[in-house]
Amino acid sequence: MSGLSFSLPGLEQTADPQQLRGCLLRLTEQLQYVLSNLGGENFSKETQERLEHMERSARAAEDLAEKNEESAKTKFQQLYEELVRTADELSNEFIVSLQQKADSIFSQVTEDFTAKSETADLEETFRSEMEETSQKIETRFLDAAQISQEVEGKLGEYRNLVDTYIQFNAEGIILGERDSPFTAVLGRERISFRQNGAEVAYLSNNKLFITNAEVLDCFTIGSTGSGFFDWVPGTNGNLGMKWRQK
């Protein structure tokens, strides 16, 4: 089998750590699927080794992207605190509005915070919105901040955005984040976890139901009264079970 390749269009153009991590995660999932569903007889030894190397590299790159994302958040917070502390100009404005529409009631509370110094500007918006109709009540929360900083004549911009929502309707309580495929639904008989609208796992009657599960280190069954059985992967690639008292 030759000419095997995997590609993610747009990966080389993006600088967004979250997009990069998402692309790497999808690549890793593709490789895992191939390695899990095709036996070794389908590949030459060289191709098999290349695939395994690609999977390890994708995982390492995903970990690196996550570390870079955390580093960027830390840098943003440090810059934010320094700018507020040294700002020559600070302003804070609150706006509260309530609108009565034909089929809904809409309320909004907005706070605009700005800080300006000789070398940097900060614009931050906190906003909560609530919309009530006969079918649902939805509350949305937005925290958006942008810092523009000039260093040695070069302008750099740092952004931070959190956009979440809580929705109450006949189905239950729905929690989510804008532009994320994942939501959690708190219903009458179950707590559901959805991806792109499809239920992938739920909790009900002291049981967890899940479409796919991946255990990294150990899978344990048992109780303090009867002891525990641990399923543990071995160093040679096999799966073993051990019993322990506690």
Length reported for the chain? 246
- Spell out a b/e string for 88-107, using b for 16 or more CB atoms within 10 Å of the CB, else e: eeeeeeeeeeeeeeeeeeee
For residue 66, give the DSSP letter.
H
- The pLDDT, as a whole number, for residue 73 is 78
CA 52 to chain centre: 26
pLDDT for the residue numbered 166:
94
**What is the distance between the terminal CA atoms of the chain, rounded to a whole angstrom?**
49
User: Tokens at residue 243, please?
Assistant: 């019993």
d(CA 117, CA 82): 10
pLDDT at site 6: 44
CA distance 222 to 142: 44
Per-residue pLDDT tens over the stretch 181-238: 999 999 999 999 999 999 999 999 999 999 888 888 888 999 888 899 998 888 777 8
Task: Report residues of the chain scoring pLDDT below 50.
Answer: 1-14
β-sheet with 182-186: strand ranges across: 89-100, 105-116, 120-132, 136-151, 154-169, 172-177, 182-186, 191-195, 198-204, 207-210
Is residue 179 exposed (0-12), middle (13-18) or buried (19+ Cβ within 10 Å)?
Answer: exposed
- Compute the half-sphere exposure of residue 21: CA atoms within 13 Å on the CB side of its CA: 12
Task: Look at residue 156 in the predicted model and tell me its pLDDT.
Answer: 77
Buried b (16+ CB within 10 A) or exposed e, 141-173: ebeebebbbeeeeeeeebeeeeeebebeeeebe
Residue type, 166: I
The 3-state DSSP class for residue 1 equals: coil
Query: Residue 33 and residue 96: Cα distance in Å, rounded?
Result: 51
Residue 160 identity (one-letter amino acid): N
